[in-house]
Amino acid sequence: MRVQVAIIGSGPAGLLLGQLLTNAGIDNVILDRVGKDYILGRVRAGVLEDGTVRLLDEAGASARLHAEGLQHGGFSLAFDGRNHRIDLAGMTGKKVTVYGQTEVTRDLMQERERSGAKTIYEADNVNVHDFGSTSPYTTYEHGGKTRRIDCDFIAGCDGFHGVSRRSVPESAISTYERAYPFGWLGVLAEVPPVANELIYANHARGFALCSMRSMTRSRYYVQCPLDDKVEAWSDERFWDELRRRLPLENAEAVTPGPSFEKSIAPLRSFVAEPMRFGGLFLAGDAAHIVPPTGAKGLNLAASDVHYLFEGLHEYYADRSMAGLDAYSQRALQRVWKAVRFSWSMTMMMHRFPDTGAFGQKIQEAELDYLVHSRAAATALAENYVGLPF
């Protein structure tokens, strides 16, 4: 098989890129290691920036998002037993859309099927070859046979554990990393959310986040030790712990109910530089990871895709490499700002084992400053709704 662009990974980055390319008449194939149902079973992000929504509009995959997504003009920072509203809309003129990554993925998959573009699920042993030359190709195994796809370019959209970044010689890549000494235990339950907007809570027992997928489905997280096991968390224990970390008014509004998803995710910041190696381009989690505190991971995948699509489009329209040559630098400029923001939100909202009395006082002063300074709150809001791209 021969295509113009071979895309590794059928997560939001790969699917969004694939749809933009297909709509522009650039043929592409997507390869994923796992099946469609497995991908749709992953519960992840929930907050979309305007720029991400705009790209989904451009991809023609946003009708349901506009019908069902919740527009949020603010969120709450809770500490010291009180809520402090960050007025996103008032300070930036922008809102965010609460709509699950699972639904974004489902919408993009549906659009891809409608357009007839090819996706190969359950492709084993995917490999990328000769991306330093002008004729790269990928191989994979399916049904006991090894197959080859020749292409002009390879887009590595295969997430943090994917094969694309790992295929680059170590000497050609620099990585920057910070692991945090805790995880997030996340729960999904068919119960109404505690409030109309998200609540990020800093509490002596640890961080908690009240999010949602709809007005009848809640998504909650609590900070937990890295070595904690999901089995140790009965629903009852979870609801108790969540309530204890929230201001009284919110704790009383928690509607407990059976959870239908429960998982623990470690928190990490990671960036690989550059994001281009000849004909291989990394996008999304394949190139960078942010802790979820700032709600930036999926949105960064979208902005990478925007820059990469522009470069590819320019190449096929004008035979100009300018956009592709600029890709890594343009993407990384935005990536590092989101990495900084996600790190700062994480530092401000969690309890660290080694904070100490001085660190604790600094954290409290920072929160107090933030909610009493319009300048500081505006800077937070500007980053949360998403820097422009």
Residues forming contacts to ligand PHB in the complex (CB under 6 A) are 45-47, 198, 209, 211, 219, 292-293, 295
CB of 188 to ligand PHB, least distance (A): 9
Nearer to ligand RFL, 21 or 295 (CB): 295
Mark whether 316 is an active-site residue.
Answer: no
Nearer to ligand PHB, 124 or 261 (CB): 261
Distance CA 306, CA 319 (A): 18
Residue 257: CB atoms within 10 Å: 14
Taking a C-beta distance cutoff of 8 angstroms, is the pair 73, 66 a contact?
A: no
Which residue, 24 or 230, is less far from ligand PHB as judged by CB? 230
* 3-class secondary structure per residue, 278-293: CCEEECHHHCEECCHH
Q: How far apart are CA 312 and CA 138, in angstroms?
A: 18
Give dist(CA 65, CA 67) in Å, integer. 5
Residue 72 annotated as catalytic: yes
Residue 31 interface partner, choices ligand PHB, ligand RFL, none, CB cut-off 5-8 Å depending on type: ligand RFL
Give the residue closest to ligand PHB by C-beta: 46
DSSP code of residue 198: -
What are residue 132's DSSP bridge partners? none
Q: Shortest approach of ligand PHB to residue 211 CB, angstroms?
A: 3
Among residues 200, 221, 307, 327, the one annotated as catalytic is: 200
Closer residue to ligand PHB, CB minimum distance, 47 or 280: 47
70 or 120: CB nearest ligand PHB? 70
Nearest CA to 51 among 77, 16, 84?
16
Q: Which does 206 bind (CB under 5 to 8 A by kind): ligand RFL, ligand PHB, none?
A: none
Cα distance between residue 81 and residue 100, in whole Å: 29
Please count the helices (runs of H) and the strands (runs of E) in the chain. Answer: 12, 20
CA distance 358 to 353: 13
Catalytic, 372? Answer: no
Which residues make Cβ contacts (< 8 Å) with residue 306, sequence separation at least 6? 51, 55, 389
Could you tell me the smallest distance in angstroms from the CB atom of residue 45 to ligand PHB? 6
99, 180, 221, 296: which one is catalytic?
Answer: 296
Which among ligand RFL, ligand PHB, none contacts residue 219 (Cβ within 5 to 8 A by kind)? ligand PHB
Q: Which does 301 bind (CB under 5 to 8 A by kind): ligand RFL, ligand PHB, none?
A: ligand RFL
Pick from 320, 308, 311: which is nearest to 283 by CA? 308
Chain residues that interact with ligand RFL, rule: CB under 6 A: 8-14, 31-34, 39, 44-47, 101, 126, 157-159, 161-163, 184, 186, 265, 284-285, 292, 295-299, 301
Buried b (16+ CB within 10 A) or exposed e, 166-193: ebbeeeebeeeeeebebbbbbbbbebbb
Interaction partner, residue 293 (ligand PHB, ligand RFL, none; CB < 5-8 Å by kind): ligand PHB
Q: Is residue 200 annotated as a catalytic residue, yes or no? A: yes
Whichever of 47 and 53 has its CB closer to ligand PHB, that residue is 47
The residues annotated with a catalytic role in the active site are 72, 200, 292, 296, 384
